[in-house]
Amino acid sequence: MAIIAHLDMDAFYAAVEERDHPELAGLPLAVGADPQGGRGRGVLTTANYAARRYGLHSAMPVSRAWKLSEAARRRGEPPVVFLPPNFRRYEEVSRRILALVRARVPLVEEAGLDEAYLDLSFTGSYDKARELCRELKEAIRRQEGLTASVGVGPNKLVAKIASDVRKPDGLTVVRPEEVEAFLAPLPVRRIPGVGPKTERFLKARGIRTVGELRTVPREDLHSWLGKWGLELYDKARGRGREELTLTWEPKSVGEQETFATDTLEADFLCRRLWHLCHQARRRLLAEGFQGFRTVVLTVRFHDFQTVTRTHTLPEATASGRRLRAEALRLFLPFLDRRENPHRKAIRLLGVRLEKLVRPGEGAER
């Protein structure tokens, strides 16, 4: 019987900034796009717990976060300190934490900079697993001055949900016989894979909690949601994978850019497209790939309508000139009425490379 833990750093980016800048300690902090006095177009990556008390959270538009900060200032509370993300720094801290974990746990799956799955089956019992997690949390606090929340359960799904229920600095152990009772009262949104759409869909059918979801017949979920419905049926019962994914191979590499102002200026857009091609290709090669076969162009209009155009080459290439030519060919129709009949201004361009080829596998297809 497997014992899996999910370790999740609390408000990771903001916590690192707070630790690195002691003068900010205790202040509300948000890491993300530049708010530009309320005119910024990006979103927050992370808000620390002081900022969350103002209602800020990750993925919130900075423009809205700015308004909430101003409201707090008018109430006489400290305004939010907005910081740009420093990913190199977070990667460095993440690597150190991971090394610390790996020194005590042989099987670890990285799941982003701020979370990981740990196979604790080797401890032999939930009591020993809990004790090991306590040690890990303490080691992370001692070495890095950061807190983590940990969930332990019979599989990745339960561990992940458990790590989320008592944040920050939580440790939640769910034994196999406790899984049903643990999940039943939770909102369906806590299930990984259930986003705003699925939540609304289920709510419209009177289903709000995992317990309620569990009363829905398998065939109903299947007919409503297809294959995803069958997965949901299992998730509602706390069934999930026990095996960790120890190695990961990128399937695509891409770059995109949202402009400060929506535009249809051909010169500007072509220059940015050129740049995106350059960056995407550079990263492709840096990742050790030899080439790509598919180019995906993304265009987002000012009304947020987003379209993609794809072209697959008969054979792989690494040529920057070829990439730019293909990207431009996909993009040009958007500059005139062929693909843009209402002459909508463009908000974002993106270039993504797929069907990536490693050295030595260039000959196949």
Interacting residue ranges for DNA, rule: CB under 7 A: 33, 41-43, 45, 58-59, 61, 63-64, 67, 111-115, 160, 192-199, 226-228, 250-258, 279, 283, 293-294, 303-304, 306-312, 347-348, 350, 352, 355, 365
Nearby residues of 244 by Cβ (< 8 Å), 6 or more positions away = 4, 107, 108, 109, 117, 119, 156
How many Cα atoms sit within 13 Å of 339 on the Cβ side? 20
Give the nearer residue to DNA in terms of CB position, either 79 or 254. Answer: 254
Minimum CB separation of residue 235 from DNA in Å reads 10
Give the nearer residue to DNA in terms of CB position, either 105 or 113. Answer: 113
Neighbours of 192 (CB within 10 A): 13
Minimum CB separation of residue 103 from DNA in Å reads 22
Give the nearer residue to DNA in terms of CB position, either 237 or 293. Answer: 293
Helix 320-331 / helix 266-286 crossing angle, nearest 10 deg? 140
Beta carbons of 115 and 128 less than 8 angstroms apart: no
Beta carbons of 302 and 345 less than 8 angstroms apart: yes
Give the nearer residue to DNA in terms of CB position, either 130 or 347. Answer: 347
H or E segment to which residue 161 belongs: helix 156-165
Give the nearer residue to DNA in terms of CB position, either 279 or 290. Answer: 279
Give the nearer residue to DNA in terms of CB position, either 256 or 290. Answer: 256
Minimum CB separation of residue 128 from DNA in Å reads 26
Instruction: For residue 110, indicate whether it is catalytic.
Output: no
SS (H, E, C) 266-307: HHHHHHHHHHHHHHHHHHHHHCCCCEEEEEEEEEEECCCCEE
Minimum CB separation of residue 164 from DNA in Å reads 8
Placement of tokens 């032999």 in the chain: 124
Gyration radius (Cα) of the chain, Å: 23
Beta carbons of 43 and 60 less than 8 angstroms apart: yes
Distances in Å between the Cα of 259 and the Cα atoms of 41, 59, 209, 310, 348 are: 9, 18, 40, 22, 6
Minimum CB separation of residue 16 from DNA in Å reads 14
Q: Which of 149, 158, 23, 14 is nearest to 89 (CA)?
A: 14
Minimum CB separation of residue 229 from DNA in Å reads 9
Minimum CB separation of residue 131 from DNA in Å reads 26
At residue 187, φ and ψ (nearest 5 deg) are -65, 150
- Compute the distance between CA of residue 64 and CA of residue 67 in angstroms, rounded to an integer: 5
In single-letter form, the type of residue at position 267 comes to: D
Give the nearer residue to DNA in terms of CB position, either 34 or 242. Answer: 34
Tell me, rounded to whole angstroms, the distance of Cα 239 from its chain centroid.
23
Catalytic residue among 17, 18, 109, 115: 115
Give the nearer residue to DNA in terms of CB position, either 63 or 121. Answer: 63
Nearby residues of 302 by Cβ (< 8 Å), 6 or more positions away = 262, 344, 345, 346, 347
Minimum CB separation of residue 179 from DNA in Å reads 19
Q: Provide the annotated active-site residues.
A: 115
